[in-house]
Structure 1
C-alpha cells in the first residue's frame, strides 16, 4: 500500500512539473491556447484527481 502511495506522489510531482512548464509556454505562444486548451484542462483534471486519490488512500495508512 505504501508503494502505491509513493507511485501516486511521484506521478503527481512529474505531472506538476510538466504543468508548471507547459501552461506558461502554451499561454505565451501565439495561437497555441486555442489548439491545446482541452489538453491543459484535461491535465489539470487529472492533477486534481491524483490529489484526491492520494489523500484518500493516505488517510488509510496514517
Structure 2
C-alpha cells in the first residue's frame, strides 16, 4: 500500500509540474484560451481527483 501511495504522489508531482508550466503558457498565448479552455479544465479536474485519491489512499497507511 505504501508503494501505491508513493506512486500516486509521484504522479501528482509530475502532473502538477506540467500544469504549472502549461497553464500560464496557455493563458499568455494570444487566442489560445478559447482553443485550450476544455483542456485546462480537464487537467484541473484530473489534478483535483488525484489529490482526493492520494489522500484517501494515504489515510489507510498507518
Normalised by the length of structure 2, the TM-score is 0.96
Corresponding residue for 1:25?
A: 25
5+ long unaligned stretches in structure 2: none
Deviations 1:37-58 (A, max 9, x none): 1011000000000000000110
Corresponding residue for 2:36?
A: 36
5+ long unaligned stretches in structure 1: none
When the two chains are superposed, the root-mean-square deviation of aligned CA atoms in Å is 0.6
Normalised by the length of structure 1, the TM-score is 0.96
What's the secondary structure of 1:30's corresponding residue? coil
Runs of at least 4 residues off by over 4 Å: none
Aligned length: 62
